[in-house]
Amino acid sequence: MRQEEVLSNSLTETNTGIPSGKLAMWLFLASEVMFFTGLIGAAIVLRSGYYEWPKPGELLHIPLAAFNTFILLSSSMTMAMGVAAAHQRDRKRLRFFLAATILLGTAFLGVKGFEYSQKFAHGYFPGTSLFWDCYFTLTGCHGLHVLAGIITNGWILSLTFRSDFDAQKGHYVEISGLYWHFVDLVWIFLFPFLYLI
Amino acid sequence: MSVRSVPSYAAYFAIWAWLIALLVAGVFVPQLSLSKMNAVLLIFSIALVKAALVTLFYMHLKSEKIPVWVVAVSPFFLISLAVFLIFVGIALS
């Protein structure tokens, strides 16, 4: 890996030597891990006692979901590259990678929306069965988190057009990046749980 | 002021390639002649590897200081405790 020395903003550092915003985001993500663990854990327990849970591919479209996973993993890459561009104070590349991340995230939600519309057209709604309760709850909560990430990245993209962006707000990209990768992490586990097993 | 290294774009792309390869591998696991338990174990092992790649390299946990590691890892101790208590509850019911 190429080594490049960068300096963090001294105004945001804490006594631990870690920027306060970054530490705060890691703490928030730790709480989000507990949030999704509660949901997924409840789904696991409910599934273990529910004999009518469908087989893989029976009710859900695996290739479409796999393609959606590909989209989200790609958005994680573009987000990481955006963070690197922010550290290098390369605003042009930062804007490109932020825009790409936003577009890919929006595409993920678009595919998810299409999946939902197909389920509704076949008469599957939240409340139809325990499986659909779990499916819509888990993917719905995840989708809301993706939407929040898109809005945040959109706001940061708008900030990149300000003259004081690099000096004052460049670290926002790294903090937002941590959140976006977490959203990807959740889907890395949700996808196999709902679609593959 | 603190100092940290920044991975190259090529490194991020390489990680992405591994993630996609693991995604494809995971999708084809159900096609293998494995028992349900073995298939589940393999699928979630692949997911764990993907999660590790994202956490260590995209989230830069690999180069972070100890306090960040403590915050990042601590939920999993709580999760392990919760899972243990769930199984104890199931066994006692």
Any bridge partners for residue B4, and if so which? A6
pLDDT of amino acid B1: 35
The two structure tokens encoding residue B28: 């084809």
Of A98, A84, A94, give the one whose Cα is nearest residue A149: A98
Any bridge partners for residue A19, and if so which? A13
Contacts of A19 in chain B (CB under 8 A): 2
Contacts of A177 in chain B (CB under 8 A): 58-59
Q: What is the DSSP string of A57-101?
A: TTSS-HHHHHHHHHHHHHHHHHHHHHHHHHHTT-HHHHHHHHHHH
pLDDT of amino acid A31: 95
* pLDDT per residue as tens digits for the range A142-191: 999 999 999 999 999 999 998 888 766 778 999 999 999 999 999 999 99
CB of A36 closer than 8 Å to CB of A141: yes
The two structure tokens encoding residue A90: 């390369």
List phi, psi (to 5°) of B59. -90, 0
Closest CB to B3 among A7, A37, A56: A7
Indicate yes or no: CB of A73 within 8 angstroms of CB of B4.
no
Q: Is the pLDDT of residue B19 over 70?
A: yes
| SS3 state of residue A148 | helix
Contacts of A5 in chain B (CB under 8 A): 3, 5
Q: Is the pLDDT of residue A30 over 70?
A: yes
Which of A7-11, A35-39, A47-51 bottoms out in mean pLDDT, i.e. has the lowest? Answer: A7-11
Q: Is the pLDDT of residue A10 over 80?
A: no
DSSP state of B2: -
Q: Is the pLDDT of residue A6 over 50?
A: no
Indicate yes or no: CB of A196 within 8 angstroms of CB of B2.
no
Find the residue in B nearest to A79 (Cα). Answer: B58
Indicate yes or no: CB of A26 within 8 angstroms of CB of B26.
no
Find the residue in A nearest to B90 (Cα). Answer: A45
Contacts of B76 in chain A (CB under 8 A): 33
Contacts of B59 in chain A (CB under 8 A): 177-178, 181-182
Question: How many beta carbons lie within 10 A of that of residue B62, not counting itself?
Answer: 11
Helix-, strand-, coil-residue percentages of chain B, each rounded to 5: 80, 0, 15
ipTM of the complex: 0.89
The chain-wide mean pLDDT, for chain B, equals 88
